Structure 1
Amino acid sequence: MNAPKFDYAPAPESRETAAVAASQGLFIDGEFRPAASGRAFKTVSPATEEVLSEVAEAGEADVEAAVAAARAAFPAWSGLPGAERAKYLFRVARLIQERSRELAVLESLDNGKPIRESRDVDLPLVAAHFFYYAGWADKLAHAGFGTDPRPLGVAGQVIPWNFPLLMLAWKIAPALACGNTVVLKPAETTPLSALRFAEICQQAGLPAGVVNVLPGDGAAGAALVAHPGVDKVAFTGSTEVGRQIARTVAGTRKRLTLELGGKAANIVFEDAPLDQAVEGIVSGIFFNQGHVCCAGSRLLVQESVAEEVLAALKRRMATLRVGDPLDKNTDIGAINSPAQLARIRELAEAGEAEGAERWSPPCELPSTGYWFAPTVFTGVTQAHRIAREEIFGPVLSVLTFRTPEEAVAKANNTPYGLSAGVWTEKGSRILWMASRLRAGVVWSNTFNRFDPASPFGGYRESGYGREGGRHGLEAYLDV
């Protein structure tokens, strides 16, 4: 007897929870102001293509003003006892919790991710990072970086569009805890939550100039990275831009951390809990529409269970709901921008052209906005572009292996080195694999799990440095 099919009625979150002003300015020295050039750009909802707000566009003069404000605020901020800085961070964390519903709606509106993810994953982690680093602010001498670690000065931070508020927290929280001041450049397609965070800084009474927010395009980011008044650069984004930043910073005394792209292997052995593994595969690649640098975009499954895993995976994919990001029932939201959608389509078409077999579940996509159906490719070889290049979308490439040695060889056959996942019931095999996988993070019988106390980062073309945990303090201290 067939199980009954349950249909879900729409359950939209109210947009009024996060009212968006028609125009918004830069946040410099504790106040909002227009760009010096008077220029502005429009930020658009990827789900509906409607203009959400007109945002001031930072230029070189604004970067100069923001760095000057951060430099002026540094002596007093760094001179505060750690326990006093902690009070501000705790206050920010509590305000994020109090305004979490508003922030989650704003994030889903501007980014396109499902409200369920913004509400249940992003926002709790954002608050947790501020709480965690508030706890470190008066214990820096016990972090293992010397008995009298000092802040570096002004941190220039450039963040991407896939996790706007979470990437902000990963960077600002440790910087402030260590006594640095910050100039943050959010992605041009998702500036709204960073500007709302600036309001929270005002509400928390954070001294003027300690945090500055400069929405703008890549030129603003480049000006910030190159500014001689910046002591520390932190960047999360593409490998190509990371290379450009490394060249800019080379030969200077600036500290640099880079968290770049990835092409993670999610490895399933025949003794794995397969139902659990299928959920991990889905979470690994379809979470946040695949807009995740550590996404498990390469599935390596042991040959003996490949057919069983693929059948279960396709059944699970057929239940995924694509649509309105503000609907609490939605599993996969909108692609963030037309440029990213074009990139995903190009690589998916290349996969078909190179002989891989493409499959997507029956899926009616909305008529407006930027959408891509969840997709799996089988018959993939290691030479295919879809197995080598970062797609940054809901596209999974499936390869098979026979032995653990073959799994390691295929998993490491990539220029990246950010993350990996291993599914098996044998603890000894997990440890054996983890010691051989060239990845900064290895998850065992889970995927895409984050904790503020755990360091995250990669090496090779996935960058260097760590964010999160005690390790995340080091990048912001003169040790």
Structure 2
Amino acid sequence: MSRTYEEWKAAAAALELDGRPFIDGRRVEASSGGTIPKTNPATGEVISQIGDCREADVDLAVAAARRAYESGEWARAGAGFRRERLLELARLIETRSDEFALLESLDMGKPVRESSTIDAPGSAALYRFYGEAIEKLEDLIPVTPPGSTALVTRESLGVIGVIVPWNYPLEIATWKAAPALAAGNTLVLKPPVEASHSALLLAELAVEAGIPAGVLNIVTGRGSVVGKALALHHDVDMLAFTGSTEVAKQLQQYAGQSNMKRLALEAGGKSSNLVFADCDDLELAAQKAAFGAFYNQGEICSANSRIFVERSVYQEFLDLLAQASQSYLPGDPLDPATGVGSLVSESHADGVWATIENARRDGTIVAGGRRPEINGSTAFIEPTIVTDVAPDHEVHTREIFGPVAVVTPFDTEEEAIAKANETEYGLAASVWTGSLARAHRVSQRLVAGTVSVNTVDALGFTTPFGGFKQSGYGRDLSIHALENYTDYKTTWMQWG
């Protein structure tokens, strides 16, 4: 049974938060002895102290991961053993689902309704997906000349560094950790300093599930220190990252400066949503567009924040979108009735608000454009719809990572495609049309890793997720994610 507002508040007050890093199977103090105050953005209250780790802590964690890998107790234990451990981890996540939900909500301000019904259960299900998948992969015996046999096997890479963002701290950590662990690697994961608690609880449950100590390590702290140390470390074999394009470019440099470690980078996005006049249900398109732009406070890398609408239905769609945006009004994240929560911090909200003010000066605010104070915090921003701005305005070009959408009319299909592709990013896009021919034609020409037709931001466990252009490379989710954390080995036997 779902909890009431009062029950969620009581459960949150009873939580004991531990921000110490997790290395070699146990909680430890950061070597510096320092901590970073962690504030609940929805209240401004300091709720815990996060370990301020340094390079020495990264060295300890990498050494633990290397020992665990070389011991073979995980990498060589067999797919069946890893399967059972990951299935048990999934079960434990489900038993602590409400606790994970509260940690996500208190850390980054998202509604507990979503974190309890989507984020935590979805993470458990993904560990189960990769646990089941790993036993079903097949190696190859290709054709070779007579007198020889070649075996082509997929081998784990070794020690994997993982850097994840704060908008989906548990889910995106799972997107990386689940396939990497299933393949037999060991991990050092750097959670976001803004939202570290769910990853720390995950590591504790991994040990409880029977995953050996040192296989999953969590090093907390600032990205400029911990993330950089991971990327430069000569004993990290591969680095998986989700975050900004700017940081992704830095990681490429660090990999080249160190051991040329391989990378999987899911970087920024500025996704387009094309609405054609032959759309079968304009009201549904508007409701989904509001979801695509404002869900999770707009803090989504693939948010459909650039909306292009055929001119003949432009005003009607704009009115429907403004109406639909009212379902995403901000409120206390612990209230199950809340549409969206707070942004991750007041400083981040300041940056989003500055963009809205620029749009107010240079264009038209159709809906929203207000910053209410809730529970003493000003980290809340209403979903905001912008029109009448130039194509090079920052609301068109910059990843705002907040509840801001810009809507622009178009006259022809060719113009819509050109506008959609007029960005340095290529993560996702959406198309609304009643014409199957147009759906195929336009989707083929959109430069995006995922094109959703008559919906927005579609993804699932069985389909790969990632981008083109400056949205990065490598794919999360699906069986293809295992390609990030394994590589082919050929064993050639000459017997005649």
TM-score interval, smaller chain: over 0.9
1:252-287 per-position Cα deviation (integer Å, ceiling 9, x unaligned): 331101101110001111122112111111110111
Pairing 1:372–2:381 present? yes
Return the alpha-carbon distance in structure 2 between the equivalents of residues 361 and 438 of structure 1.
Answer: 31
Question: CA 1:375–1:338 in 2, change beyond 3 Å: closer, same or farther?
Answer: same
Question: Please, which of 244, 247, 250 is the counterpart of residue 250 of structure 2?
Answer: 244
Which stretch shifts more, 33-42 or 247-256?
247-256
Corresponding residue for residue 99 of structure 2: 102
Conserved? CA contact 1:285–1:394, under 8 Å: yes
Which stretch shifts more, 160-169 or 362-371?
362-371
Pairing 1:431–2:436 present? no
Corresponding residue for residue 158 of structure 2: 153
Return the alpha-carbon distance in structure 2 between the equivalents of residues 349 and 324 of structure 1.
Answer: 24
Corresponding residue for residue 4 of structure 1: none
Return the alpha-carbon distance in structure 1 between the equivalents of residues 375 and 97 of structure 2.
Answer: 30
Corresponding residue for residue 217 of structure 1: 222
Return the alpha-carbon distance in structure 2 between the equivalents of residues 110 and 143 of structure 1.
Answer: 46
Pairing 1:232–2:238 present? yes
**Counterpart amino acid of residue 243 in structure 1:** K
Question: CA 1:364–1:300 in 2, change beyond 3 Å: closer, same or farther?
Answer: same
Shift of 1:225: 1.1
Corresponding residue for residue 53 of structure 1: 48
Shift of 1:363: 7.8
Conserved? CA contact 1:29–1:212, under 8 Å: yes
Conserved? CA contact 1:12–1:327, under 8 Å: no
Pairing 1:200–2:205 present? yes
TM-score of the aligned structures, taking structure 1 as reference length: 0.94
Aligned sequence identity (%) = 42
Shift of 1:113: 0.6
Shift of 1:200: 1.0
Question: Please, which of 131, 134, 140 is the counterpart of residue 134 of structure 1?
Answer: 131
Conserved? CA contact 2:5–2:334, under 8 Å: no
Question: CA 1:19–1:55 in 2, change beyond 3 Å: closer, same or farther?
Answer: farther
Pairing 1:303–2:300 present? no
Corresponding residue for residue 31 of structure 1: 26
Shift of 1:24: 3.1
Corresponding residue for residue 494 of structure 2: none
Return the alpha-carbon distance in structure 2 between the equivalents of residues 144 and 259 of structure 1.
Answer: 33
Return the alpha-carbon distance in structure 1 between the equivalents of residues 126 and 327 of structure 2.
Answer: 33
Query: Displaced runs of 4+ in structure 1, greater than 4 A?
Result: 9-12, 142-146, 361-364
Shift of 1:119: 1.8
Return the alpha-carbon distance in structure 2 between the equivalents of residues 336 and 33 of structure 1.
Answer: 26
Return the alpha-carbon distance in structure 2 between the equivalents of residues 253 and 163 of structure 1.
Answer: 28
Return the alpha-carbon distance in structure 1 between the equivalents of residues 75 and 471 of structure 2.
Answer: 31
Which stretch shifts more, 176-185 or 334-343?
334-343
Shift of 1:352: 2.4
Conserved? CA contact 2:103–2:198, under 8 Å: yes
**Counterpart amino acid of residue 131 in structure 1:** R
Shift of 1:353: 2.9
Question: CA 1:208–1:143 in 2, change beyond 3 Å: closer, same or farther?
Answer: farther
Pairing 1:388–2:385 present? no
Conserved? CA contact 1:86–1:138, under 8 Å: yes
Question: Please, which of 238, 260, 264 is the counterpart of residue 271 of structure 2?
Answer: 264
Return the alpha-carbon distance in structure 2 between the equivalents of residues 416 and 143 of structure 1.
Answer: 36
Question: CA 1:335–1:412 in 2, change beyond 3 Å: closer, same or farther?
Answer: same
Question: CA 1:354–1:144 in 2, change beyond 3 Å: closer, same or farther?
Answer: farther
Where 1:148 maps in the other structure, the secondary structure is strand
Question: CA 1:390–1:143 in 2, change beyond 3 Å: closer, same or farther?
Answer: farther
Where 2:461 maps in the other structure, the secondary structure is coil
**Counterpart amino acid of residue 52 in structure 1:** I
Which stretch shifts more, 313-322 or 300-309?
313-322
Question: Please, which of 165, 170, 176 is the counterpart of residue 170 of structure 2?
Answer: 165
Where 1:138 maps in the other structure, the secondary structure is helix
Shift of 1:116: 1.8
Return the alpha-carbon distance in structure 1 between the equivalents of residues 371 and 221 of structure 2.
Answer: 35
Shift of 1:449: 2.9
Return the alpha-carbon distance in structure 1 between the equivalents of residues 62 and 334 of structure 2.
Answer: 37
Conserved? CA contact 2:26–2:204, under 8 Å: no
Conserved? CA contact 1:107–1:113, under 8 Å: yes
Corresponding residue for residue 118 of structure 1: 115
Return the alpha-carbon distance in structure 2 between the equivalents of residues 144 and 418 of structure 1.
Answer: 36
Conserved? CA contact 2:36–2:49, under 8 Å: yes
Where 1:292 maps in the other structure, the secondary structure is coil
Shift of 1:115: 1.4
**Counterpart amino acid of residue 262 in structure 2:** R
Conserved? CA contact 1:294–1:419, under 8 Å: yes
Which stretch shifts more, 68-77 or 133-142?
133-142
Question: Structure 2: which 5+ runs fail to align?
Answer: 143-150, 489-496
Shift of 1:409: 0.3
Question: CA 1:349–1:144 in 2, change beyond 3 Å: closer, same or farther?
Answer: farther
Conserved? CA contact 2:140–2:153, under 8 Å: no
Question: Please, which of 285, 298, 302 is the counterpart of residue 293 of structure 2?
Answer: 285
Where 1:435 maps in the other structure, the secondary structure is helix
Corresponding residue for residue 462 of structure 1: 471
1:404-438 per-position Cα deviation (integer Å, ceiling 9, x unaligned): 11111000000000000111122221111111000
Rg larger for: 2
Shift of 1:106: 1.5
Which stretch shifts more, 152-161 or 24-33?
24-33
Return the alpha-carbon distance in structure 1 between the equivalents of residues 99 and 467 of structure 2.
Answer: 33
Corresponding residue for residue 350 of structure 1: 358
Which stretch shifts more, 57-66 or 344-353?
344-353
**Counterpart amino acid of residue 133 in structure 1:** Y
Question: Structure 1: which 5+ runs fail to align?
Answer: 1-8
Shift of 1:355: 3.1
Conserved? CA contact 1:43–1:55, under 8 Å: yes
Which stretch shifts more, 267-276 or 237-246?
267-276
Conserved? CA contact 1:18–1:106, under 8 Å: no
Alignment RMSD, CA only? 2.0
Return the alpha-carbon distance in structure 1 between the equivalents of residues 39 and 213 of structure 2.
Answer: 30
Where 1:289 maps in the other structure, the secondary structure is helix
Shift of 1:366: 1.2
